[in-house]
A and B are shown apart, each in its own frame.
Chain A
Amino acid sequence: MVSADPTQPLLQMQGIVKVFPGARALDGVDLEVLPGEVHCLLGQNGAGKSTLIKVLAGAHQPTEGQILLDGEPISISDPVAALRHGVATMYQELDVVDGLTVAENVYLGHELATLGFSQRREAVRQTRAILQRLGHSEISPNMEVEHLSAAGKQIVSMARALSHDARVIIMDEPSAVLDSEEVGNLFRVVKELTKAGVAVVYISHRLEEIREIGDRITVLKDGRTVAQNLAVSETPTQKLITLMTGRSVEYVFPVTDGVRADAPVVLDVAGLSLRGVFEDVSFQVRAGEIVGLAGLVGAGRSEIIETVYGARRATAGAVTVDSRKLRAGSVASAVDAGIGLAPEERKSQGLLLDEPVYRNVTLSTFARFARFGFLDEAAERKAATEQSESLELRPAGVDRAIRTLSGGNQQKAMLARWLVHGCRVLLLDEPTRGVDVGARAEIYALIRRLADEGAAVVVVSSEIPEVLGLADRVLVVSEGRVVHEGPSSSIDEHQVLDMVMEGSVA
């Protein structure tokens, strides 16, 4: 392999900024990776890890900043360029093609071929060699990938990275789908790679893994590097958690007088289960109360509220609104009973992007304004205008395509939809995702106002301070179970992190 000076950085990123419309995903990231080291990237959800990886992999172009390889500035204009520079990426979402064989997946995009004829035998032979090196000679290169388990697919993805003769391999939560024995295998391969001078950028939520395999750590928060090149052996866990959570931007949360004890229970979720995702979830929400669901991505938070909403059919349990039981798996029944959902993926799950604002606002209610099936667009416009004015939607005017609004204002339009509907229960999934920091306080105030007006609100967020600051009561979800329930004032961010990373904090 490359015999580089182990003290000279192999890869450097300097002042990387990435701006998306309405959001600054990266705001000055520095990273320095030495040859032959395992460099760990730590940060909470939304800290910018994924965006950073995509910049390295050539999937995103940085708005500012530069990337150096062996001290020379390089430009990674697309994924092919990244591979040409020797930067290979193993994504968190498995990026294998089910219908192709293992060998075809490994050489996808750089097929071994002579004059356009693929050298299948050679590809199979080399794939077998790579799999052997990974300690998985039981996987046949001729097997179709769809017959493999998630862990098997992970191995294929890793084999692909190795097939590129990479100098830097980025691994995004590679252990998430592996059991402990397979993790051992993974670590063995990582050590082999680093011995040969390959640098590994390792991303994981599990601090114990970082302790075992990492050399140095870079911590990201709110799109910035907050600590660089910490030696794994010398940095206490407590310091890492503080670095990850300490807020540079203080969120302003509205004050609340607390919920009156005699406020009626509006939403009652009893023993709700979705097989394989979450088990036996029960909670109640009173009028005027905000309940927060905290937990890691994949813990089952979003699935819980989508099941409450009927977008997924519960395998057990019941949802009751104002003592009216909902039909399982029926969104229409939930909407009729007065539940509204602002989904996590606003653009793909919530909005008709090319349609005007007012039609998005009245998407759940246009039939109510209509007479004998004939739309009353004037009434729709009027109702949408009233709500968007009270929510201070900017820019004003409900006739422009909703695509042109910022994330925060699109979220307001979602809230306006349920205000027009007159909702008793609001389910908000990541209400400030893609909303820039300035507009967040406004969204928080709005959510509190809706609660004060008598709505029962459930908020899901990956950002623990957001849940704690906004909610009256918090449910901590870990691996599909509610592991804690209590007033948000009696628990702090570290305790929540401890619970969701249970067993990982040494």
Chain B
Amino acid sequence: MSEHNVSASVPTKKPDADESARVEKAASERRKGGFLSGAAGRNVGLVVALLLLCVVGFVTGGERFASVSNLMTILSLGSILGVLAIGMTFVITTGGIDLSVGSVVGLASVWATTLATQSYGWVVMVICALAVGVGAGLINGLIIAYGRVVAFIATLAMLVAARGLAELIAQKRTQIVDVPAFNDIFRGNLLGVPKIVWIFAIVAVLGWFLFNRTTFGRRTVAVGGNPEAARLAGIKVKRHLMYVYALSGLTAGIAAVMFLARTSAGSSTNGLLIELDAIAAVVVGGTLLVGGRGTIVGTVLGVLIFTTLTNVFIINNVDSSVQQIAKGAIIVGAVLLQQRLSRRTT
């Protein structure tokens, strides 16, 4: 009788205990597995790569590498690229690409430095640069989302056209920034750090929030991960794609302001081919080119790896042609590694 009681009471309680134990175990396994195979794990790999680069830099360059002033050099070198890469992360997460950002930087920097624009002062210059960027991005987005043109082609057309328009406006001359207030505000350091590095930091933090903590970021991942599922769930896929390209254009506008701060000159050659470095940094950072998975932290690390690498090469007087070969090899290596990882998780 007592035996019967025991066996009767056990089944009623045991499933709960079993269940919670199983859930707990699964959760801890996920945490462990997630550490190595998830986004965090990939970022750890990037951090290790960056540290290795720093060791190489220190061994070969010594004090010339490991100094505060060189750190600031690296950071300001990477700032403009970094801002563009943040916008590019959103675009690539949707499964798209934006080849036009470099040209749009050139166009915005030229438009913001015409004599007419400069005559209105620094506020109008900045607004002009940002508006040109957003406008170009909106045109990209309209053509891609509503015109159903492949992003590669639509932004390639913008790449060519924006550079041409910039040449037309500047008449192939360099336009010097002659607004003291602009230079006062954007040039030089703040708390010992170049102001363009501050801009990069702010854009990166805002980008991280936008990507990870807002409905905008969630939509970006959903649209890239499975556009049909997103559409059937009621998400306005086309409208969102347009916003994402406009965002990328906005980062190009910001980058144009940073260019003006660094060089004090609006030129149609500003930002030439920088879109390729931005795409490379995003991909090395772990954002999937097929869309659906992106990481802002990875992108920032990808930017730092690229700029540190360039810096180490320069310190060691490596020929710039060799630098390019090395960069190419790194991009291929990173993508191969990325494919391995994504195959393992699926």
Contact = CB atoms under 8 A, between A and B. Distances in A.
Indicate whether A and B interact: yes
Interface of A: 309, 311, 331-332, 334-336, 341, 343, 348-355, 359, 363-364, 366-367, 370, 373-375, 395-397, 399-400, 403, 417
Contacts of A354: 225, 292-293, 345-346
Given A349-B228, A352-B229, A363 B222 contact: yes
A341 B213 contact: no
Contacts of B172: none
Interface stretch (B18-26, B53-61, B270-278, B303-311): B18-26
A332 B240 CA distance: 13
B30 interface: yes
Contact of A370 (B30, B215, B222, B292): B215
Given A354-B345, A370-B214, A311 B232 contact: yes
Contact of A373 (B19, B216, B221, B293): B216
30 contacts: A309-B232, A311-B231, A331-B232, A332-B234, A341-B232, A348-B226, A348-B229, A349-B229, A350-B229, A351-B226, A352-B229, A354-B225, A354-B292, A354-B293, A354-B345, A355-B225, A363-B230, A363-B235, A364-B234, A373-B214, A375-B213, A375-B214, A375-B215, A375-B217, A375-B218, A395-B23, A396-B23, A397-B23, A397-B26, A399-B30
Given A355-B221, A397-B23, A374 B214 contact: yes
What 6 A-B pairs have minimum CB-CB distances, sorted nearest first?
A: A335-B234, A363-B233, A352-B225, A364-B233, A367-B215, A370-B215
B115 interface: no
Contacts of A399: 27, 30
Contact of B232 (A343, A370, A395, A400): A343
Nearest to A360: B229
Contacts of B216: 373
Given A359-B218, A374-B215, 7 more contacts: A332-B236, A349-B232, A354-B293, A355-B221, A374-B213, A375-B214, A396-B23
A335 B232 CA distance: 9
Nearest to B234: A335
A283 B236 CA distance: 28
Contacts of A355: 221-222, 225
B197 to A, nearest CB: 27
Contacts, number: 81
Candidate in B19, B231, B232 with the most chain A CB atoms within 10 angstroms: B232
Contacts of B27: 397, 399
A169 B120 CA distance: 78
Contacts of A348: 226, 228-229
A403 B221 CA distance: 16
Interface of B: 19, 22-23, 26-27, 30, 213-218, 221-222, 225-226, 228-236, 292-293, 345-346
Contacts of B225: 352-355
A399 B24 CA distance: 12
Contacts of B19: 396
Nearest to B218: A366
Contact of B215 (A341, A366, A397, A400): A366
Given A331-B234, A335-B234, A351 B214 contact: no
Contacts of B26: 395, 397, 400
Nearest to B292: A354
B296 to A, nearest CB: 15
Contacts of A335: 233-234
Given A375-B214, A395-B23, A395-B26, A331 B231 contact: yes
A372 to B, nearest CB: 9
Contacts of A363: 222, 229-230, 233, 235
Contact of A352 (B226, B234, B345): B226
B79 to A, nearest CB: 27
Nearest to A363: B233
B215 to A, nearest CB: 5
A350 B293 contact: no
Contacts of A373: 214-216
A181 to B, nearest CB: 38
Contacts of A334: 234
Contact of A351 (B213, B229, B231, B236): B229
B340 to A, nearest CB: 16
A114 B173 CA distance: 59
Given A352-B225, A367-B215, A373-B214, A400 B30 contact: yes
Contacts of A395: 22-23, 26
A147 to B, nearest CB: 24
A416 to B, nearest CB: 13
A380 to B, nearest CB: 9
A417 B236 CA distance: 17
Contacts of A331: 231-232, 234
A364 B23 CA distance: 27
A108 to B, nearest CB: 26
Of the listed residues B26, B222, B229, the one surrounded by the most CB atoms of chain A closer than 10 A to its CB is: B229
A332 B234 CA distance: 5
Contacts of B30: 399-400
B167 to A, nearest CB: 38
A403 B229 CA distance: 14
A327 to B, nearest CB: 13
User: Which has the most chain B C-beta neighbours within 10 Å: A311, A331, A363?
Assistant: A363
Contacts of B231: 311, 331
Q: Which of A331, A343, A350, A417 has the most CB of B within 10 A?
A: A331
Contacts of A374: 213-215
Q: Which of A311, A334, A352, A399 has the most CB of B within 10 A?
A: A352
A353 B293 CA distance: 11
A397 B126 CA distance: 49
B312 to A, nearest CB: 35
A343 B30 CA distance: 29
Contacts of B217: 375
B286 to A, nearest CB: 14
A351 B233 CA distance: 9
A359 B220 CA distance: 13
Contacts of B234: 331-332, 334-336, 364
B134 to A, nearest CB: 18
A366 B346 CA distance: 25
Nearest to A341: B232
A56 B69 CA distance: 69
A320 to B, nearest CB: 18
Nearest to A366: B218
Nearest to B230: A363
